[in-house]
Amino acid sequence: MRTSPGTSRLRQRRGIPRIRLASKTGSADEELDGVVADMSLREDAYYLARQILIGEVAVDEFAGRLIDVCARARGKEFLIVHNPGGWGHARLDQCLDWERGIVIGITAAVQEMGQSLFMTQYFRSGRGWREEMRDLIEQFRFFESKAVIMADWLRFIITHIPGIQVVLIGISQGAAFGNAVMRQLSADYPVYSIELGFPFMYKSRRVVDKRTLVIEGNGVDPDIMAQGNVWTGARILTAAFFRWIGYSLKGRSIPLALCINAPGHEYDWGNPEIQRQIRDFLEANFGVKESAKKSKPPRKS
C-alpha cells in the first residue's frame, strides 16, 4: 500500500501538503488511493491539532471537525465559512435574523453564479462564562492566538482539497476576527473575506486588500460601532456587557449581540445597496458561469 507524503512534510512545516483524492467510482487502485487518502487526512488532522492545542478533548474536537469539513467540502468549488459575531459561538439558528439573512443571502448568491459549495460555521470560542472571558481577553489582543489557529485550519483544508476557494463572512466581532485571520494568510491562499460592521476600535490593526470587502454602513443610519469614537464605543460595549451579565445572573441565556444598543449596526440582505456591494465583490473575484448567466434573474435597480 502506498503511503502519502503528507505526514512527513507536515512535520517539516505548518503548511499541510496535498494528497491524492480518488474518485468514488473508479478502479480498485483508485479506491485504494481513496482509503490511503482518508487515513492520511485523519493522521494529518490529528497531528496538526496536537501541535496547536492542549488536551485530548480539544484535540479530538478540532481534528474531528476538520475531517468532517474536508469530507463535506470535497468536490465543491467553494467553502463558505461564517464567523459568528458576539462571543463567536452562536449557531446560525441562534444568530440575529439579519445576520442569518446575510449568510443565507451570500450562500444563495454564490449558488446563483453556478458554483457548488459547502457552508459551515467556525466557532472561535466555547460556551460558558470562562470561555467568554478568555475570548474577551483575545478581543483586546485582536484575536492574535485564535486567528493563528483558524488560519492553520484553513491552510489544512485548502491544501487537502486542491482548487477550493474560501469566503469568510463576519459581522461585528466576527468581522474583526475574520480580518485577524486574513492577516495570517498570504495572497497565495484563495481566501476572501466579507466584513460588515467592523468595530472601529480595531481599525488601526485592520488590513484590507482586493480579497476583502468592507461594508461600514447600511445606507440608512450611520453605524455607530463602525464609525463611532472611543468613548461612545466604550459606553455601548460596557452597557451591553453589564446588561448581558444581568440576564445571566437571572438565569436567562441572552446572546451578547442582543444586548448591544448601537444605532445603524444592522445589515439586512434585503437592503439593495448592501446586496449590490456583496454581489459585485463576488462576481468581480469569481465570475459567473455561462450556464448560470442564462438562468440568472436580472438584478433589481
Per-residue pLDDT tens over the stretch 218-271: 777 777 677 766 566 667 667 777 777 776 777 766 666 666 666 667 799 999
C-beta atoms surrounding 295 within 10 Å: 8
4: left (phi over 0), alpha (psi -120 to 50) or beta: beta
Angle at 113 between CA 107 and CA 115, to 5 degrees: 70
CB burial of 272-289 (b: ≥16 within 10 Å; e: otherwise) equals eebbebbbebbeeebeee
Distances (CA, A) of 122 to 28, 82, 103, 169, 275: 36, 6, 13, 10, 23
Chain position carrying cell 469530507? 71
Per-domain residue ranges for the chain?
1-74, 75-288
Grid coordinates in use for 193? 473575506
pTM of whole model > 0.85?
A: no
Task: Compute the distance between CA of residue 211 and CA of residue 199 in angstroms, rounded to an integer.
Answer: 19
DSSP secondary structure string, 195-232?
A: EES--GGGGGG----TTEEEE-B-SSSB-HHHH--HHH
CATH of domain 75-288: 3.40.50.1820
Task: Compute the distance between CA of residue 206 and CA of residue 262 in angstroms, rounded to an integer.
Answer: 21
Q: Tens digit of pLDDT per residue, the chain (301 long)?
A: 333 334 334 433 344 333 333 334 455 444 444 445 678 899 999 999 999 999 999 999 999 999 999 999 999 999 999 999 888 888 999 888 899 999 999 999 999 999 999 999 999 988 877 887 888 888 888 898 999 999 999 999 999 999 999 999 999 899 999 999 999 999 999 999 999 988 888 888 898 999 999 998 777 777 767 776 656 666 766 777 777 777 677 776 666 666 666 666 779 999 999 999 999 999 999 999 888 876 666 665 5
The confidence score (pLDDT) of residue 31 equals 46
Give the SS3 label for residue 76: coil
C-beta atoms surrounding 109 within 10 Å: 17
